[in-house]
A and B are shown apart, each in its own frame.
Chain A
Amino acid sequence: MSSENIESIVNRRYEHGFITDIESHGLPPGLDESVVRAISTLKKEPQFMLEWRLQAYRQWREMTEPTWAHVHYPPIDFEGISYYSAPKSDADKPQSLDEVDPKLLETYDKLGIPLHERARLAGVAVDAVFDSVSVATTFKAKLSEAGVIFCSFSEAVREHPELVQKYLGSVVPRRDNFYAALNAAVFSDGSFVYIPKGVRCPMELSTYFRINAANTGQFERTLIIADEGSHVSYLEGCTAPMRDENQLHAAVVELVALEGAEIKYSTVQNWYPGDENGVGGIYNFVTKRGDCRGDNSKISWTQVETGSAITWKYPSCLLRGNNSVGEFYSVAVANNMQQADTGTKMIHIGANTSSTIVSKGISAGHAQNAYRGLVKVMPQAHGARNHTQCDSLLIGKNCGAHTFPYMEIKNPSAKIEHEATTSKISADQLFYCRQRGISEEDAVNMIVNGFCKEVFKELPMEFAVEAQALLNVSLEGAVG
């Protein structure tokens, strides 16, 4: 590859970086009880929510920031963050897509997400979270016909308080960890899904997240409840505008699968990773946990992580029900100065539970990519089965790939296997491809896609295509 060519690729700017100049009305930076109260009031929440938030806030005050992750970043000024921002048209929320602020739709167009077309063509209901307030929800009618509730979290708090009160915090308790507690205190909005007994959700549910207003941490909260014998596939994807200041994102996702239910949760994360010198970029400190509460339930996490300056994320499964199944398929790409510390926890509690972990980490540039996982088999979890495969691919001399797998086994009938390998793209492989007339960049993409195939095949169709393209874009300039 000519050096000019490399130069142009290396210097390519983040394609999705732009700022929509929608006037946002938000709270001034800083956090105290009055901010928590203000958020709750703005969202017209019932008393129980306010109390829940306040308790979380008080607990958060007493907690300290975790430092165990294999990442380095300057201290976060929690007083410098504005904890609420919303598009101005909040007061009279659009009832349909036609009423949506054209500037918003323009934003989605720039991102390559023509909302209504995409929604119609792909048969996907999109609950788009733009900054902190949901502005459009489609296909509601079709979903409500099936009895499925798919709405913004704020709406769920108002319309279905009994469900929210019953399940909120039941998987990720308020004081679970520092960032989960912060989220519980100030979360602005998110998605809520309830699939009734025996219902197979008629379409894949999808949310697109965007971070937009400067200095605004996004604190989404997602709660998905799959009642007995139901099935749902949920897609989460995101991009973010270019910005020079680090932005904190501390989301919480809670999944509850009751007896015989199945939840498939897929994520493509492509937030702004910062520039080639590590300036800017999103801090992505997320708590995601699924609870296989009923027998024969299943929760499957699939993630493609290519964005964010720092990722700190461990989608986990509590395998409580007998015969419950947990899965985790992950591709994490870190290029330039990105740092990723990601993995999963599989906690085997019920009998005959099984879990599968497939993690593919790719490091390039000066990036550090760590897999951190826990497989825990409790004494009562007879017949537990786990298979873990975690592979790392290194591209370049200055990056790092790390694995920190913990296995805590307290039952003799457990069968646990863990395998890990680390390698680089070999000169032989590249030579073979180039000999066949494939350019170096295409060859690398091909090899990397092959390396990730096991995970990509778990993604829903629309995401699989997007993920492959994203991977190629993320690794541009990594090999020369």
Chain B
Amino acid sequence: MKQQNLAINELREAVLRMPADRLSATRTAAIASLKQNGLPTLRHEDWKYTDLRPAIEISNQWLAAGANNTASDTVADAIATITSSLDANWLLITNGVIDTSHFDRGASIEIARFSDTSAPPLADKPLADLNAALLNDGLKIHVHAATEKPLGLLIIDAADTGASVSQVNIEIKIAAGCDAELIEYQASLGTQDSYCNSIISMQVEESAHVSYVRIQDRRIGHTQTARQSISMGAASDLNMASYDLGGGLIRNDLDIDLNAPHANVVFNGLYLAGDGQHIDNHSRVDHRVGPASSSQEYRGILNGRCRCVWNGKAIVHKGADGTDANQSNHNLLLSDHAEIDAKPELEIYADEVKCSHGTTVGQLDETSLFYLRTRGLDRRQAKQILTHAFAADLVGRTPIDMTRDTITALVGARLAVLIQEELL
């Protein structure tokens, strides 16, 4: 398969047009690294099922058109709708540009731009080069103490007049002993193709407790590669839930490092895919020290012509005794054209461990469908009820109570469309 290359020369020119600031040196280094290493292709084991060509095509279109992102007028409305539905302290990133106008500066949270402080060193991860090369600006967030409202990150991409490409880089530090709530909301607007490449890294310090909800509700014309790297301190907790509802090509990489004993991580995910969607969730948990625990459950509902990928990897390093790791993944495959590629991986180098994984792929239970039909429901209604029930379990696991209604509504609306799509 021929891999289309990123237009490096145009990219270099676009970077040269960016203002000189504290990020300039990293941008130059990133271009060199990008030129040498390129972007991952299907030949890379981690990218076996996800073809990045749409991201390259959108990037090249955008570069050819002068690398401008024009935010549309409708963005303000969209922002208003989202921020009013969820009462959080919002930081906005619109087409890669940081906007702190909705953010209420308080004593508990400190924020700083990369351009005012320093850019982080170039990470040795796929797509980190692209991010660093084109990054407009990044944000450092330091949560010192528990806040009244959750911290909100609204990442919105709008493409009205032409393709849009944005880079997001956020570094979050949760101070020792602090309880923090975080809501990440991703949305997109416009009729043209957009691509967002994001990196969010989070350091959870000793005895801190983090609740994290991630809602991805992008348009079908949106392509996304998102990497989250989370590092856990001693006796810290993370409870995370991700909801992938939209998007054309979505690739999420979640890396969690358990560096100190007694850390405890729970992360769950729900992905709903219909016609034209490709949703890929990769996670990697590194148990470096024990005792510690990690647990994940992902569920997928696939209908229409779509493909989902789930790859959960747990690595128990030598000496990480007392590790308890488990992964589970369940999929409802509702159409002849849907495909799921699942791969639960365990790499274990210690013996005092308990590790398990389970994966299932199946359909709605015919007996249950029959039961509902004997109660006078038609087949579509019966399917809807059972599909909702499959998803409801994960909706109920959102760690931030105030998000439950929004998530229930979004999942409900998405499922209604998904089931409609089915040819009965």
Contact = CB atoms under 8 A, between A and B. Distances in A.
A421 interface: yes
Nearest to B315: A402
B352 A412 contact: no
Interface stretch (A261-269, A278-286, A388-396): A388-396
Nearest to A376: B341
A410 B338 CA distance: 6
A398 B351 CA distance: 8
Nearest to A388: B359
Interface in B306-361: 318-319, 331, 333-361
B77 interface: no
Contacts of A422: 346, 348, 353-356
Interface string B359-387: 11111000000000000000000000000
Interface of B: 45, 318-319, 331, 333-363
Given A407-B340, A419-B357, A412 B333 contact: yes
Contacts of A160: none
* Interface of B, helix, strand, loop or mixed by DSSP: strand
B351 A394 contact: yes
A190 to B, nearest CB: 33
Interface residues of A, number: 35
A403 B346 contact: yes
Given A412-B336, A417-B360, A422-B354, 20 more contacts: A379-B336, A394-B348, A394-B353, A402-B348, A403-B346, A405-B343, A407-B341, A408-B339, A411-B336, A413-B363, A414-B361, A415-B361, A415-B362, A416-B359, A420-B344, A420-B346, A420-B356, A421-B356, A422-B346, A423-B353
Nearest to A374: B343
* A contact patch SS: strand
Given A407-B340, A407-B341, A418-B344, A398 B359 contact: no
Nearest to A393: B351
B25 to A, nearest CB: 36
Contacts, number: 109
A400 interface: yes
Given A397-B350, A398-B318, A422-B355, A412 B344 contact: no
A412 B348 contact: no
A156 interface: no
Contacts of A398: 318
B361 A407 contact: yes
Contacts of B350: 394, 397
B213 to A, nearest CB: 28
Nearest to B348: A401
Nearest to A400: B349
Contact of A400 (B45, B333, B345, B347): B347
A420 B357 CA distance: 5
A415 B333 CA distance: 10
Contacts of A413: 363
A417 B363 CA distance: 12
29 contacts: A68-B45, A70-B347, A379-B337, A392-B346, A397-B319, A400-B348, A402-B346, A402-B348, A404-B343, A404-B345, A405-B343, A406-B343, A407-B342, A407-B343, A408-B341, A409-B341, A409-B361, A410-B338, A411-B333, A412-B336, A416-B360, A416-B362, A418-B342, A418-B357, A418-B358, A422-B346, A422-B348, A424-B352, A424-B353
A347 B342 CA distance: 15
Contact of A402 (B337, B347, B354): B347
B148 to A, nearest CB: 43
Nearest to B344: A405
A25 B45 CA distance: 44
Nearest to B363: A412
